[in-house]
Amino acid sequence: MTAPRHVFRWDLDKTYLRTEFDSLGDLIKSAIETAADKQAYPGATALLRTLSTTDGYKVCIVSGSPTQMRTVLAAKLALDGVTYDEFVLKDNLRNILRGRFRALRAQIPYKLPALLASRGGSAPAPAETLFGDDAEADAIVYCLYADLLAGRVDHETLARILSSARAYDDETARTLALARAAPTGDVVRRIVIHLDRRSPPLGFRQFGPRLVPVFNYFQAALVLFADGVLDARQLLFVAFEMLDSGQYHLATLANSLQDLMRRNRLGSETVLRLADEVGAMTTGGLLSARPDLPPFATIARAFTERVRELRGAAPPAWPTDPEPLDYVSLVDHEHDHRRARRRRGHG
């Protein structure tokens, strides 16, 4: 089997699927839903389907959903036409039977070793892109995974981080062993965090430009286009699915594009290149126009207008020599925040 050239690691709940688990009622509802009941975010299906069917791309799903939901989740992905190379779920029943109750909610002691095991269990790719959300600790665990592989976090520091994450001793030992065995390298090119809770994007600037918070999957597709992961035709598949949903219009997609530019997450030269490629599609025959959607020339014009509106505006600059992330403090803060949410009755 040929080694992949790019691996995409996806969470499911609140990243791909609209899932609520802030109350006991939400958990029960999620557990009894059929595959047909479960809803993906507009554009997420088109994006994940595109990635899973592109030659040389590998899709690995690492989710905190319980293993007992594998059948219905696999059926949902099949209904959406999404294929995957790996599907890892959390064995919460085993945690309950062993009396490991804090492991039920803990994400870092579960997800970090799952990511490391996935990388070490197959031929490593030269590049990885990670998708998560703002409901849990995905930003922390993905950055930690990236910095660990790149050698920016040593194993002694990792042990302290796992202690702050309330990992059990055997979880710590397994994670350290997996970290030593995993193929290393500065391979995580991009981290995309879906803002399910509508968290302010400014709160993620501490993680640096590699991590991009997005409000929708058109923004995610734009980031991947800028990274050279998607072409303009594939990006339009995502846009068309979002327009088809009835929840988005061309103006809202253009607003989403402009939002990324304002936040210095997308350059004007990239947008102008995209507009040129989209505008040329009618004559190039790369994609058939749809009478129920805006013409390609109209789409291209909407994008270029947003670039013109921002001419002269200075986007926020990134520090040239950023401080390394203090993962112990980040984990402690995340734990305190999660505990405060539970006290307020939000899960």
What average pLDDT is seen over the chain? 90
Tell me: the pLDDT tens digits for 303-313? 999 999 998 77
Tell me: the pLDDT tens digits for 129-142? 999 999 879 999 99
Predicted confidence (pLDDT) at residue 29 exceeds the cutoff of 60: no
Task: Select the highest-mean-pLDDT range: 93-97, 292-296, 300-304, 316-320.
Answer: 300-304
Tell how many helices (H) and how many strands (E) occur in the chain: 15, 6
Predicted confidence (pLDDT) at residue 126 exceeds the cutoff of 60: yes
Least confidently predicted of 16-25, 216-225, 292-301, 335-344:
16-25
Tell me: the pLDDT tens digits for 153-207? 999 999 999 999 999 999 999 999 999 999 999 999 999 999 999 999 999 999 9
- Domains of the chain, by residue range, sit at 6-212+324-343, 233-309
Alpha carbons 274 and 3: distance in angstroms, whole number: 30
Identify the pLDDT of residue 300. Answer: 93
Predicted confidence (pLDDT) at residue 106 exceeds the cutoff of 90: no
Q: What is the DSSP string of 159-214?
A: HHHHHHTT--HHHHHHHHHHHHHSPPSS-EEEEEEE-TT---GGGGGGG-TTEEEE
Q: If phi over 0 gives left and psi between -120 and 50 gives alpha, with beta otherwise, what is residue 151? A: left
Identify the pLDDT of residue 142. Answer: 98
Tell me: the pLDDT tens digits for 210-246? 999 999 999 999 999 999 999 999 999 999 999 999 9
Q: How many Cα atoms occupy the beta-carbon half-sphere of 5 within 13 Å?
A: 6
Identify the pLDDT of residue 320. Answer: 82
Range 297-326 average pLDDT: 89
Identify the pLDDT of residue 6. Answer: 97
Predicted confidence (pLDDT) at residue 335 exceeds the cutoff of 90: no
